[in-house]
Amino acid sequence: MTSTDREVTVEQCPGGPLLVRGADIIRDAEGTAHDVTRPLVAVCACGKTGRPPWCDGTHKALRRPT
């Protein structure tokens, strides 16, 4: 596959992370580059993850009624 036909897709999971397919690097707000090591990655969208920029499931604690 050449770089010209490479497509990156993003899917917002309701109440959950962004699923990103086809990326090589995710660059965070501070400009730090994070290598992508799997075909599909879940990027944190709630801002509460303990392993930024990746989702670690913490969003569930936010939506769970107490």
Partner 1 sequence: MLLPQPRGPISHGVVRLLKDDRDEPAALTGGDEGDLQDDDLQLALWMLFELHYRGFADVPAGREWDLDLLRLRAELQERLEQELRSRTATAVAEALTVPEADFPERLTALIDAADGPSVAGYLQRDATRDQVVDFMRQRSIYHLKESDPYSFVLPRLEGAPKTALAELQYDEYGAGQPHRLHQTMFGDALEGCGLDREYGAYIDQASALTLATSNVASLFALQRRLRGAALGHFAAFESTSSVPCRKIARGIRRVGLPDVVAAYFDEHVEADAVHEQVAVRHICGALVEQEPALAEDVLFGAAACLAVDALAGERLLASWASSDSPQGESSLMRAAASPTSG
Binding mask 13-42 for partner 1 (x = CB under 8 A): xx-xx-x-----------------xxxxxx
Task: Give φ, ψ of 14 to 5 degrees.
Answer: -55, 125
Size of the site for partner 1 (CB under 8 A): 22
The smaller minimum CB distance to partner 1, of residues 1 and 4, is found at 1
SS3 sequence, 1-50? CCHHHCCCEEEECCCCCEEEECCCEEECCCCCEEECCCCEEEECCCCCCC
Name the residues that contact partner 1, by CB under 8 A: 13-14, 16-17, 19, 37-42, 50-51, 54-58, 60-61, 63-64
